[in-house]
Amino acid sequence: MNYIFYFLIVISIVAGAVNGKLDDVVNAILSGAELSVKVAFSLIGIMGFWLGMMKIAEKCGLIEFISKLIKPITKRLFTDIPEDSPAVGDIAMSFTANAFGLSNAATPIGIKAMEEMQKHNKDKSSASDSMCMFLAMNTAGFQLIPATVIAVLVSIGYKNPTSIIAPTLLVTSIAFVSAIVFAKLFKKLWKPQIDNGGEE
């Protein structure tokens, strides 16, 4: 990826020099660097706020309540995880973080959920069905409020940043449902090979 960006920068400078627009290229680089710093600082505030909200929700028992609420769903989707497993709570927290557009917060929670699911995995050398399902659902990234995207739009001066909520909800809902359907489908189609000492 570094080589790609380096290549793009070099091509931009060469093209600017050839066309007599080198000053514009330099100004664009400087203004882009300044904007990236502003966006980064604006994201710190919104991420800090929502991460704090997540911590409060965890302390006051809201996450536990959500875990119990979605237990019938997790029981059907994650069939090889016991109902009392800590993985259920981690899955709930991960989905909650994603729902509020906090993908950065959802990542470490998702890793913790994977670690818990690995404890119930019979074949330690490969991912379980539940792990594959969770990865597919987490990657789809269902979002009710795309907080990170809204923060970026606010930082660049977009006039109506909340207009992104409806299309984001639609697209992520379709992606989320598609992830579940395809994970279930491939679970039925894919038959893992059983190692019998070289015999089939």
pLDDT band per the 50, 70, 90 thresholds, residue 67: low
The total of other beta-carbon atoms located within 10 Å of residue 37's CB is 10
**E strand map for the chain:** none
Lowest-pLDDT choice from 20-24, 54-58, 114-118, 163-167: 54-58
b (16+ CB within 10 A) / e for 166-185 = eebbeebeebbeebeeebee
According to the model, what pLDDT value does residue 174 have? 92
**DSSP code at position 120:** T
Average pLDDT estimate for 17-24:
81
pLDDT over threshold 50, residue 153: yes
Amino acid at 133: M
**Overall pTM > 0.75:** no
Query: pLDDT of 91-104, one tens digit each?
Result: 887 887 777 777 76
Tokens of 193: 């090979």
User: How far is 58 from 55, CA to CA, in rounded Å?
Assistant: 5
Average pLDDT estimate for 171-189:
88
According to the model, what pLDDT value does residue 199 have? 43
Contacts of 138 (CB under 8 A, 6+ apart): 94, 95, 98, 106, 110
pLDDT band per the 50, 70, 90 thresholds, residue 47: low
Average pLDDT estimate for 78-89:
79
Listed residue (172, 115, 164, 120) closest to 141, CA to CA: 172
User: How far is 100 from 52, CA to CA, in rounded Å?
Assistant: 13
According to the model, what pLDDT value does residue 43 have? 66
According to the model, what pLDDT value does residue 192 have? 57
Give yes or no for a contact between 101 and 143, defined as CB atoms under 8 angstroms apart. Answer: yes
Lowest-pLDDT choice from 23-27, 45-49, 86-90, 137-141: 45-49
